[in-house]
Amino acid sequence: MMKLSLVEDQAIQARIAAIAGAETFDRLFAGIRFDEVDGNLLFAIARDEDCASEIEDEFSHHLAVVATQILRQSVDVVVVLPKVLQ
């Protein structure tokens, strides 16, 4: 398991903001933290259950591609947990 650095977390956020657009990013991704990678799984912590679910449904593929590029290792699955379950 590898904890992501603050720079890696912010780099993923910046790239996904460009993909999602400002309004969607502010609505869904406010307070998100890309936390760690375990094998090919990227774990993220979203502000609540609704945001976590929508992020997984709408952006998991984009997040996997962005994380693979930034982390220079294969990320195939993105798991987004709500902050209360972390």
**How do the domains of the chain map onto residue ranges?**
2-82
Interval 1-44: pLDDT, tens: 899 999 999 999 999 999 999 999 999 999 999 999 999 999 99
Q: How many CA atoms lie within 13 A of 63 on its CB side?
A: 28
* Confidence at residue 85, expressed as pLDDT on a 0 to 100 scale: 55
CA 60 to chain centre: 8
Residue with tokens 């593929």: 61
* Top-tier CATH class for 2-82: alpha beta
Interval 49-83: pLDDT, tens: 999 999 999 999 999 999 999 999 999 999 999 99
Query: Phi, psi (5° rounding) for residue 70?
Result: -75, -45
Q: Give the whole-angstrom CA distance, residue 53 versus residue 36.
A: 18
